[in-house]
Amino acid sequence: MKFFADTSDLDAIKDLADLGMLDGVTTNPSIIAKSGKEFLPLIKEICGICEGPVSAEVASTDFDTMMKEGKKLASLADNIAVKVPLTEAGLKVCKNLTDAGKMVNVTLCFSPLQAVLAAKAGATFISPFVGRLDDIGNEGMDLIHEIAAIYDNYPDFHTEILVASIRHPQHILQSAKLGADVITAPPEAIKKMYNHPLTDKGLAAFVEDWKKTGQSIL
């Protein structure tokens, strides 16, 4: 499973890269707005830190403008994945960009049928939003199960399942068990994965016992 950081925080991205836990980065208009930084220079800087795909989202909704924006974004760096919404116009942009050899991340997926459309359009990634489904009383991980089952039926589909809108480490665990290709999560959610009270308790005991020996490795 690949880990993408859902953030535009450069320090957090560098930190995950140093840990060996960074396979890509995803951004969206909301994340960029919170950063308070200029969009295009920020994306270019992220691409310089992250060797894997960096998702940068178009800001328009009509086909012609999205195509222009998509081409502009794709020109920023070789590892850009142009992010488009799962609409008719978005899928048309996806088809055109993938035919031109560009990576495309189709976002805001909430049904398995939408995921089929994205795969047919040649999407590099499909981004189902599990947390937002949970928020309205549905079981978001059921969507991942359905998409994975459908994609497995068709070897000609090469679209990777990129689980998005992750709220907590359990979403990551469930995604791994279902065979999702990628998860994108806030850096803090990824870092929570190594936390366990028994690890802390065991380490504290080891440290205390070592002190009693009066020895030093250095």
CATH 3.40.50.150 fits 2-213, yes or no: no
The predicted model scores a pTM of 0.94
Tokens 């960029």 sit on residue: 32
For residue 143, how many other CB atoms are within 10 A of its CB? 22
Tokens 């450069």 sit on residue: 10
Helix pair angle (169-177, 140-153), 10° resolution:
20
pLDDT of 204: 97
Mark the ranges of the chain whose per-residue pLDDT is less than 70.
Answer: none
Catalytic residue among 2, 34, 83, 92: 83
Q: How far is it, in rounded angstroms, from Cα 84 to Cα 198?
A: 43
pLDDT of 146: 98
Q: What are phi and psi of 146, to 5 degrees?
A: -70, -45
Q: Is 108 left (phi over 0), alpha (psi -120 to 50) or beta?
A: left
Amino acid letter, 14: K
Query: Where along the chain do its domains lie?
Result: 2-213
pLDDT of 144: 98
Active site residue 83: yes
pLDDT of 163: 98
